[in-house]
Amino acid sequence: MRTTELLAPTLREIPAEAEVISHQLLLRAGFIRRETAGVYTYLPLAMRVLKKINQIIREEMDRQGGQELLMPIIQPAELWQESGRWDVYGPELFRLKDRHNREFALGPTHEEIITALVRSEVSSYKQLPLLLYQIQNKYRDERRPRFGLLRGREFIMKDLYSFDRDYEGLQISYQKMHEAYTQVFRRCGLRFRPVEADSGAIGGSDTHEFMVLADSGEAVVLFCRKEGCDYAANVEKAAQVIVAAGHGEEPKLLSEVSTPGVHTVEEVSAFLNVTPQKIIKTLLYETEKEVVAVLVRGDREVNEVKLANALGCLHLKLSGADTVRSVTGAQVGFAGPVKLNVKIVADLEAATIVNAVTGANKDDTHLINVSPARDFSIDIVADVRMVQAGEPCPRCGEALIEAKGIEVGQIFKLGDKYSKALGAFYLDESGQSRPVIMGCYGIGVTRTMAAAIEQNNDKDGIIWPAAIAPFQVVVVPISVKEEQQMAAAEDVYNRLIAAGIEALLDDRPERAGVKFKDADLIGYPLRVTIGAKSLGSKQVEVRVRKTGEVLMIPNDELENRIGELLGGL
């Protein structure tokens, strides 16, 4: 391919609408153009990257026995009503009507369609297991489409669904996908981690998210610092190890103290001269059923995902000042568990504090020497707080490290949720009817492309891992008007192509500086420069984008050496 034939419109300015680096660089380097919020055209350079990611995905899915199919984007509402999701999916589901007023959804995911397919095509245990996948556009009317391809409303996803006879079979399919995903992201050249994630209040099955580590990530992950311990979880899931606080301490006399205008943990700590570890923070939450009080240690934060799981509720929100006043009789900042007439959920750690400081449920007043069991009773004791970096790993006790991540894939055990709802049953060896046991596994293809940029860039532009670069090498003649130079560049270009290396010849009549800038911006892993110097010489100048290193490679070793270099990028 020649640059004069390529549609790769680079921009000099940073587009104002783009907040994150991948979005800025995808626009500037001529990979994408925005059509409307969260909806993009993928230009030829982007298509080349996406095709490579898709190819890697296909190879790894097929290696595990996956079979590719393609399901419709337009999905009838009836199937979504059967699964019960037409009502619960909410405004994220794009809905439309046809000329006969029948309702449809644009597929945000395909559990309904694929379960209906299996319901009609699979009837015997002999047809199982099955791993079926597709690579296709998905539609989600995200509340905040942003960050370019990281959170679009139309995006490309690979989704695979596994169908097994039983949970042992599901475990095998799940392991296969865990392995396949590990290979996909490794082959894409990304630094990533599979992390344990929360599967929601209903369910409780296994799920892992695959996180590309990048500072711009929206997700927070915690992982063990010890070599060889692979514990990693996202912050919603990360489990605490309790180091009991008050064991052995004698409960002292409970008493009330006046604390005028002292609301926050910091203020209470300073005013009463106690450490935050001795303070029990009491927060009121409202669920769809009731108001609950949640107790955590003064220096900890409530984890609302864990809390919802502990309560088995669907919705959860922090109470406003009016509710706090009506439940506790005091303004915000003075709530406490003693004589409080709502359900009390205590975090594992908070439940162990003896002689604690709490609010007194009375304005400008706190209690000291509060001890659980003696002074108040707890309805639920559970892990309901955020774990922080530095806390012990639940597996080996070594300290946890925190990092930011971008979720590029997720694998999930569904069990019989959809097969039961939609009636996908099979007959086992003894002729008994059983629901197929399912799993679902997604990779955001377009998000992976953006995540690769978030992780690999510098002030000059993108630095593509060689495996997914749009072209592996750009050949730049310094002056296309010099016939000899152009001929030498053509020669190098043809030799690289003949050796199976994806090369691009920058044959534009531009200044060399402009071409170098574009090459860095677009991020080809290697640049071969052909100038007046190289003509007489037996060596060719090769620059490595990632390190800026310039190598002089003997002309007759060019293809081999470039092949070797690419292997390490």
Where on the chain is the footprint of Mg ion (CB under 5 A)? Answer: 410
Query: Rule CB under 6 A: which residues touch ligand ATP?
Result: 109, 140, 142, 151-152, 155, 157, 407-410, 442, 444, 446-447
Binding partner of residue 534 among ligand ATP, Mg ion, none, CB cut-off 5 to 8 Å per kind: none
The CB-of-149 to ligand ATP minimum distance in angstroms stands at: 6
**Chain residue at closest Cβ approach to ligand ATP:** 444
Q: Which residue is nearest to Mg ion (CB)?
A: 410
Q: What is the DSSP letter of 126?
A: G
Percentages helix, strand, coil for the chain (3-state, rounded to 5) are: 30, 30, 40
Smallest distance from ligand ATP to CB 170, Å? 18
Residue 418 Cβ vs ligand ATP, minimum distance, rounded to whole Å = 14
Diameter of the chain by CA atoms?
Answer: 96
Q: CB nearer to ligand ATP: give 159 or 347.
A: 159
Taking CA atoms, 479 is separated from 3, 178, 353, 471, 510, in Å, by 14, 50, 76, 21, 8
Task: Return the number of the residue (59 or 142) whose C-beta is nearest ligand ATP.
Answer: 142
Closest CA to 421 of 95, 122, 78, 74: 78
Q: How far is the CB of 453 from ligand ATP (least distance, A)?
A: 14
Q: Which is nearer to ligand ATP, 23 or 447 (CB)?
A: 447
Task: List the single partner that 409 binds among Mg ion, ligand ATP, none, CB under 5 to 8 Å by kind.
Answer: ligand ATP
What span, in angstroms and rounded, lies between the C-alpha atoms of 2 and 10? 15
**Choice between 152 and 337, CB closer to ligand ATP:** 152
Q: What is the DSSP letter of 320?
A: -
Q: Taking the complex as a whole, how short is the minimal distance between the CB of residue 408 and ligand ATP, in angstroms? A: 5
DSSP 281-309: EEEEEEESS-EEEEEEETT--B-HHHHHH
Measured from the CB atom, the residue of 210 and 524 that comes closer to ligand ATP is: 210
Q: Tell me if 364 sits within 8 A of 259, measured CB to CB.
A: yes
Work out how close the CB of 115 gets to ligand ATP at its nearest, in angstroms, rounded to a whole number: 16
318: three-class secondary structure by DSSP? strand
Given ligand ATP, Mg ion, none, residue 152, with its beta carbon under 5 to 8 Å by kind, binds: ligand ATP
Binding partner of residue 428 among Mg ion, ligand ATP, none, CB under 5 to 8 Å per kind? none
Nearer to ligand ATP, 181 or 426 (CB): 181
Partner whose footprint covers residue 140, from ligand ATP, Mg ion, none (CB < 5 to 8 Å by kind): ligand ATP
Output 361 or 410, the one with its CB closest to Mg ion: 410
When CB distances are held under 5 to 8 angstroms depending on the partner's kind, the choice from Mg ion, ligand ATP, none that residue 157 binds is ligand ATP
344 CB burial (10 A radius; 0-12, 13-18, 19+): buried
Q: Give the angle 544-459-515 at the CA atoms, nearest 5°.
A: 55
567: tokens are 């292997």
Of 195 and 354, nearer to ligand ATP (C-beta) is: 195
Of the candidates 474, 495, 475, 477, the residue with the CA atom closest to the CA atom of residue 559: 495
Task: Outline where DSSP puts E strands in 333-399.
Answer: 343-347, 356-359, 365-370, 380-382
| Residue 529 binding: pick among Mg ion, ligand ATP, none (C-beta 5-8 Å cut-off by kind) | none
Identify the CA nearest to 114 among candidates 177, 70, 149. Answer: 70
| Shortest distance in whole angstroms from residue 295 CB to Mg ion | 31
| Shortest CB 219 distance to Mg ion, Å | 10
Residue 9 preceded by cis peptide, ω within 30: no
- Considering the complex, state which of residue 216 and residue 410 has its C-beta at the smaller distance from Mg ion: 410
Instruction: Quote the least distance from Cβ 445 to ligand ATP, whole Å.
Output: 8
Contacting residues for 111 by C-beta, under 8 A, at least 6 apart: 83, 161, 414, 418, 438, 440
